[in-house]
């Protein structure tokens, strides 16, 4: 007898709302102790694409009851000038979280900046000290996107312990910390990347498959084990009719968007594969909203850890 499983879409917006409500309640408790967590976002130059995203971060933090500040140095800023700004922010008592938005202009040394942010205010979790803390299981600030994915899985009642998790992608901001967090949750973890031989075979062996690649629909239905949990981190904009037809033919809602905007957003997983999954994260509306929610949670966590309060 074969049993058919109805794939369940994981609603990132709903889970993010719950997390943000928890963060707001936590902030109220800190207010009662005379503490007002503060987040500073540094956005260099003009980037219409990241501007909406950055303003959303600033707006959300203010709405949740934090001090929230946006600093916008010009595109001509030097690494030295940014290092001096970061030093000032590190020294400010009213600042708990510092986030430097990418992309940065080519003259700016991003690695140097990541290392200059105080590890205690590093709400992105990129500082080598936080990478090390995460690796050795000490209280740390974990990168927001993978931390959000763990929250999403846990809050949806999806077991992680003992599962085979395959992470495709090994970037410092998603793939590597994702693998480390899954390992901490007792998954058996495999990391794949562009040099992996027979990617399909690894993917087919996954109970939980996390795609963090940045290439539209590269994970095909034949690479997915029926019943697997599919987590799609990729954010790709497709603009060609050929791509659209390949991935979304017959999808009236997407067709409307494509006609209106000339493009649609999709992940790294071919949407046809979602039909095989037990759970999957849609793009948009899956992993994306969790990233901002976890940035808020990390800022409050930083505020607590810096003052020696339980996080
Ligand atoms: P990177 O470009 O830094 O890393 C991509 C990874 O994918 C690399 O490790 C690369 O391997 C691997 N890769 C590339 N091609 C292949 C292939 N053909 N087969 C297997 N592996 C491959 O990207 P990021 O990690 O920064 O981001 C990944 C995606 O996630 C992007 O679409 C990004 O926009 C999205 N994203 C979404 C977020 C959200 O909030 N939803 C947040 C952050 C990112 P190698 O190391 O060998 O080059």
Cβ proximity of 65 and 31 under 8 Å: yes
Q: Whose CA is nearest to atom 40 of ligand 1?
A: 288
Q: Which two tokens stand for residue 214?
A: 């940045």
Cβ neighbours for 106, distance < 8 A, ≥ 6 positions apart = none
Atom of ligand 1 nearest to the CA of 235: 32
For the chain of 311 residues, list the mean pLDDT of each consecutive stretch of 10.
Answer: 79 98 98 98 90 92 97 97 98 98 95 96 97 94 98 98 98 97 98 98 98 98 98 97 97 96 97 98 97 98 94 82
Per-position b or e across 70-82, b if 16+ CB within 10 A of its CB: beebeeebebeeb
Distance 212 CA to ligand 1 centre (A): 4
The preferred substitution site among 101, 152, 175 for testing ligand 1, maximizing ligand atoms within 8 Å of CB, is 175
Q: Assign domain 143-286 to its CATH architecture.
A: 3-Layer(aba) Sandwich (3.40)
Question: What is the pLDDT, as a whole number, of residue 46?
Answer: 86
Q: 195 C-alpha vs ligand 1 centroid, how far in Å? A: 13
Give catalytic residues, as residue numbers.
Answer: 57, 101, 124
- Ligand 1 neighbours, Cβ below 6 Å, are 145, 168-171, 173-175, 192-196, 199, 212-215, 218, 233-236, 287-288, 291
- Enter the pTM of the model: 0.96
Q: Where are the domains of the chain?
A: 30-127, 143-286
- Are the beta carbons of 58 and 68 closer than 8 angstroms? yes
Identify the CA nearest to 247 among candidates 278, 269, 227, 279: 269
What is the DSSP code string of 169-201?
---TTTHHHHHHHHHHTT-EEEEE-TT-TTHHH
pLDDT of residue 1: 54
The ligand 1 atom nearest the CA atom of 196: 20
pLDDT of residue 53: 87
- The answer to whether 30-127 and 143-286 have equal CATH topology is yes
CA of 62 to the centre of ligand 1 (A): 31
Cα 259 to ligand 1 centroid, rounded to whole Å:
28
The whole-number pLDDT of residue 310 equals 86
Ligand 1 atom with minimal separation from the 268 CA: 32
**The CATH number fitting domain 30-127, selected from 3.40.1160.10, 3.40.50.10860, 3.40.630.10, 3.20.20.150:** 3.40.50.10860
Confidence (pLDDT) at 123 = 98
Give Cα separations from 260 to 19, 62, 239, 255, 283 (angstroms). Answer: 33, 33, 12, 9, 18
């Amino acid at each position: 007898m074969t049993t058919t499983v109805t794939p369940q879409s994981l609603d990132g917006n709903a889970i993010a709302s719950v997390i943000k409500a928890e963060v707001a309640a936590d902030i109220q408790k800190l207010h009662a102790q005379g503490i007002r967590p503060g987040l500073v976002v540094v956005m260099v130059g003009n980037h219409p694409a990241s501007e909406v995203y950055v303003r959303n971060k600033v707006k959300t933090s203010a709405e949740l009851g934090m001090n929230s500040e946006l600093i916008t140095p010009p595109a001509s800023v030097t690494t030295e000038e940014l290092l001096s700004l970061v030093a000032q922010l590190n020294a400010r008592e009213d600042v708990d979280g510092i986030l430097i938005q990418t992309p940065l202009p080519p003259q700016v040394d991003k690695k140097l900046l990541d290392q200059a942010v105080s590890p205690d205010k590093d709400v992105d979790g990129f500082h080598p000290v936080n990478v090390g803390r995460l690796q050795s299981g000490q209280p740390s600030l974990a990168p927001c996107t993978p931390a959000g994915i763990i929250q999403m899985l846990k809050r949806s009642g999806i077991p992680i312990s003992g599962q085979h998790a395959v992470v495709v992608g090994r970037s410092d901001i998603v793939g590597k910390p994702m693998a480390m967090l899954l390992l901490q949750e007792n998954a058996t973890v495999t990391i794949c990347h562009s040099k992996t031989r027979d990617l399909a075979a690894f993917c087919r062996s996954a109970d939980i498959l996390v795609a963090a690649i940045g290439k539209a629909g590269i994970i095909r239905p034949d690479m997915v084990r029926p019943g697997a949990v599919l987590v799609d981190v990729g954010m790709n904009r497709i603009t060609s009719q050929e791509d659209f037809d390949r991935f979304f033919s017959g999808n009236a809602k997407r067709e409307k968007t494509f006609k209106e905007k000339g493009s649609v957003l999709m992940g790294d997983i071919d949407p046809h594969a979602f039909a095989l999954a037990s759970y999957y994260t849609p793009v948009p509306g899956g992993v994306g909203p969790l990233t901002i929610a976890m940035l808020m949670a990390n800022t409050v966590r930083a505020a607590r850890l810096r003052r020696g309060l339980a996080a």
